[in-house]
């Protein structure tokens, strides 16, 4: 009788871990760390390592909420433009002399409103998100341009400056700390709550999800609003770090953020992926560009590496799978 029972969880096998995407990513990260520490004596310096997190923390914060968006079978190309617009609001409200909490509130609200706008157009008119966000990408950054023209803001509240460039206990940058805390929160929501389960089922099959009573449209709108919120949060860190805002701030970041998510094993057509994978891939990309930077490889070398890594990380496993299937 026992043999007829179907276990609801497959039995744990040590060998299975080897096939997990996260495991492969971890090995890649390990190899990168090993190579980096061998070729440059400056790599394993604690202060260097800590400061290297400044290079990716802001993008990483958005990558977390972008993971939710992509798992729900959507995409948001407008995040960098939302950042530009909310940093403009940050600079403008500061110049008007509002008090700090109002400034930060208005900046975050700008992000939420941009995200809501995306979500409403996508759901109300049933238009694919890639097209809508190509449009809003121009719209939001265009608004930043028409607002600032060729000037810039360089005055921000004390708190914003210290958020962007200071360390907790003199060691942990606030941006990095925020990213770590948010990854734990996002991982909990995605993997341990009914919200996460619903996001996966929306991504797997939106129509089926609708018939099982999930408010797909409401989820989509909220996810885009959350993505806008975190873009605005990232823009506060970035403005504080650069202490200068121009309309071209964070130009091209949307593609880097999506690369972080997709490299982390999140399927671009939705329904699968983990926060852990994205977390590791953020470190892979961060350490890769940091290491190449120490070797004086210019930014372009990093661009080529990132692109190749992105295509090969997805192309190689599916190629092997196809190859095996043909041989069997």
Partner 1 sequence: MKKLLTNRDVILFLIILIGVIAVGIANPFFVKPSSLSDVLTDTSILIILALSQMIVILIRAIDLSVASNLALSGMLISLLSTLHPELPVIYFIILSCIIGTFLGLLNGVSIAILKVPFIVTTLGTLSIYRGLIYFVSDGKQVYSHEFSDDFLSLIHHKFLSLSFLFWMAVIVFIIIYVLLNHTKFGRNLYTLGGNPEAAKYIGINENKYIILAYSISGFFAGLCGYLWVARYSVASTQIAIGFELTVISACVVGGISVMGGVGTVVGCVLGAMLIGLIRNALPAVDISQFWQLAISGAIILIAIIINTKTEQRKEKTIMVE
As measured in angstroms, the least distance from the Cβ of 43 to partner 1 is 23
Max alpha carbon distance in the chain (Å)? 77
* Choice between 37 and 151, CB closer to partner 1: 151
Q: Binding pattern to partner 1, positions 249-278, x when CB under 8 A?
A: ---x--x--xx--x-----xx---------
The label of the residue with tokens 């921000």 reads 156
Q: What is the DSSP-derived secondary structure letter of residue 153?
A: B
Q: Quick one: which segment of 53-61, 90-98, 137-145, 183-191 binds partner 1 (CB under 8 A)?
A: 137-145
Interface with partner 1 (CB under 8 A), residue from 44, 96, 127, 195: 127
Say if CB 71 and CB 266 are below 8 A apart: yes
Binding residues for partner 1, how many (CB under 8 A)?
49
Helices (H), the chain: 14-17, 21-39, 46-52, 57-71, 79-96, 100-124, 129-148, 158-165, 174-192, 194-204, 206-211, 216-242, 253-263, 275-294, 299-327
Site membership for partner 1, residue 146 (CB under 8 A): yes
CA distance 90 to 289: 29
Interface with partner 1 (CB under 8 A), residue from 31, 130, 184, 185: 130
Q: Which of 79, 112, 61 is nearest to 226 (CA)?
A: 112
* Choice between 181 and 295, CB closer to partner 1: 295
As measured in angstroms, the least distance from the Cβ of 293 to partner 1 is 15
Cα dihedral 275/278/283/286 (nearest 10): -140
CA distance 80 to 141: 8
Site membership for partner 1, residue 116 (CB under 8 A): no
Site membership for partner 1, residue 17 (CB under 8 A): no
CA distance 153 to 95: 8
Interface with partner 1 (CB under 8 A), residue from 137, 160, 223, 282: 137
* Choice between 140 and 237, CB closer to partner 1: 140
Site membership for partner 1, residue 219 (CB under 8 A): no
Residues 294-313 touching partner 1, rule: CB under 8 A, are 298, 300-304, 306-308, 310-311
Residue numbers of the site for partner 1 (CB under 8 A)? Answer: 75, 121, 125-128, 130-132, 134-143, 145-146, 148-150, 247, 252, 255, 258-259, 262, 268-269, 298, 300-304, 306-308, 310-311, 314-316, 318-319, 322
């Amino acid at each position: 009788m026992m043999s007829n029972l179907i276990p609801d969880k497959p039995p744990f096998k040590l060998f299975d871990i080897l096939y997990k995407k996260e495991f492969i990513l971890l090995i890649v990260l390990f190899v990168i760390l090993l190579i980096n520490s061998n070729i440059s004596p400056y790599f394993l310096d604690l202060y260097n390592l800590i400061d290297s997190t400044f290079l990716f923390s802001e993008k990483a914060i958005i990558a977390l909420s972008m993971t939710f968006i992509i798992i729900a079978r959507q995409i948001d190309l407008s995040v960098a433009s939302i950042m530009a617009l909310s940093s403009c609001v940050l600079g403008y409200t500061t110049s008007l002399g509002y008090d700090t909490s109002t400034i930060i509130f208005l900046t975050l609200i700008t992000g939420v409103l941009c995200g809501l706008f995306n979500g409403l157009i996508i759901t109300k008119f049933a238009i694919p998100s890639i097209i809508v966000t190509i449009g809003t990408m121009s719209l939001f950054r265009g608004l930043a341009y028409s607002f600032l023209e060729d000037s810039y803001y360089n005055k921000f509240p004390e708190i914003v400056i210290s958020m962007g460039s200071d360390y907790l206990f003199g060691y942990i940058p606030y941006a990095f700390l925020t990213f770590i805390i948010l990854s734990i929160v996002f991982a909990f929501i995605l993997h341990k709550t009914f919200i996460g389960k619903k996001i996966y089922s929306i991504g797997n099959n939106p129509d089926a999800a609708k018939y099982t009573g999930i408010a797909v449209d409401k989820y989509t709108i909220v996810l885009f609003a959350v993505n806008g919120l975190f873009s605005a949060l990232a823009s506060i860190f970035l403005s504080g770090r650069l202490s200068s805002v121009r309309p071209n701030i964070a130009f091209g970041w949307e593609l880097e953020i999506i690369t972080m998510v997709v490299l982390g094993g999140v399927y671009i057509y939705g329904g699968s992926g983990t926060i852990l994978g994205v977390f590791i891939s953020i470190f892979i990309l961060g350490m890769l560009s940091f290491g190449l930077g120490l070797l004086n490889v210019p930014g372009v070398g990093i661009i080529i590496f990132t692109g190749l890594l992105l295509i090969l990380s997805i192309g190689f496993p599916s190629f092997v799978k196809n190859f095996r299937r043909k041989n069997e």
